[in-house]
Amino acid sequence: MIDYANLFIKSIFIENMIFAYFLGMCSYLAVSKTVKTAVGLGFAVIFVLTITVPLNFLIDQYLLRPGALAGLDQNMLN
């Protein structure tokens, strides 16, 4: 049963090339009617990326790397 659930999740979200292609196109498809909405969504995308890229970098460097939490006291983790 777990294998079927794993296969289902993998086929929809991880290895679905069409979903990944259209996910990258959503900004283009959402603003294809007027320049005003294109500029607004463009600024929104820039704002979101300005916040999330440094945050993702910090999380990757200080939390997700192997041994990143090794300096913490073991009593704090339990």
How would you write the pLDDT of the chain (78 residues) with one tens digit per residue?
Answer: 668 888 887 877 777 766 666 666 666 556 567 777 777 877 888 898 899 999 989 988 888 888 776 766 665 555
15 and 2 share one domain: yes
23 and 35 share a domain? no
3-state secondary structure 31-72: CCCCHHHHHHHHHHHHHHHHHHHHHHHHHHHHHHCCCCCCCC
The pTM score is: 0.49
Residue 56 is part of which domain span?
Answer: 31-67
Task: Say yes or no: 8 and 35 in one domain.
Answer: no
Are 16 and 1 in a shared domain? yes
Q: Are residues 4 and 19 part of one domain?
A: yes
* CA 70, 73, 74, 76 torsion-angle sign: negative
pLDDT of residue 54: 93
* Residues 23 and 3 occupy one common structural domain: yes
Q: Count structural domains, the chain.
A: 2
Considering the domain boundaries, does residue 78 fall inside one?
A: no
- CB of 31 within 8 A of CB of 37? yes
Q: What's residue 50's pLDDT?
A: 92
